[in-house]
Amino acid sequence: MYTVSEIAELLRREEPGGVVGLEPSEVQQVQAAWDMIRLPSAYEEFLTNMGSRAGRVLLGTDAFFPTILEMSEWADEFFEENASNLARPKDALVFAMHQGYLAYWMSDASISDPEVTLFMEGESKPMRVWPSFTAFLNSHYLDEPGVK
């Protein structure tokens, strides 16, 4: 399995200029927008390396700065609309949404590389669960079926 930084480097080789990370002040804006003291280290590494653009990975998904600054509000709406099927997990950190009907969240933002869950609007159970954020990124990089 590749590290987050290795995926960023591989994507840069595929598409020079297609991968753009965030400045430390922008990472701090994300933390503040999500009311977090500290982001999971794997996710912070993602933001630092690919937080504005990640080439073909997560293309078409709202997962990048500055759009992610509104993610907390969108997540609240998503869980309200799906309240009959899903309660918002207590420590979940929604970090990406795809066209408003798919939500990706980290189950416990207090650990360095948390489990990631993908949930589709109207469903009663998650579509997919990855054991870590790094595993989630690897599956997107490798274009595995069922990633979105």
pLDDT tens, 17-26? 999 999 999 9
Q: How buried is 137 (Cβ within 10 angstroms: 0-12 exposed, 13-18 middle, 19+ buried)?
A: buried
Per the structure, the count of domains in the chain is: 1
pTM of the full predicted structure? 0.92
Q: Give the number of other CB atoms < 10 A from CB of residue 118.
A: 20
In a domain, 80, yes or no: yes
Angle subtended at Cα 22 by Cα 17 and Cα 25, rounded to the nearest 5 degrees: 150
- Residue 119's domain spans which residues? 4-141
Alpha-carbon distance of 62 to 64, in angstroms, equals 6
In a domain, 21, yes or no: yes
Alpha-carbon distance of 148 to 131, in angstroms, equals 16
**Tokens linked to 98:** 């795809």
What are the beta bridge partners of residue 54?
19
Alpha-carbon distance of 148 to 128, in angstroms, equals 9
In a domain, 40, yes or no: yes
For 131-143, the pLDDT digits (tens) are 999 999 999 999 8
CA–centroid distance for 44 within its chain: 11
Reported as a pLDDT band with limits 50, 70 and 90, residue 145 is: low
In a domain, 147, yes or no: no
Of the candidates 127, 119, 132, the residue with the CA atom closest to the CA atom of residue 83: 119
For 103-115, the pLDDT digits (tens) are 999 989 899 999 9
In a domain, 60, yes or no: yes
CATH number at residue 22: 3.40.1580.10
CA distances in angstroms from 75 to 56, 68, 91, 96, listed in the order given: 24, 11, 13, 9
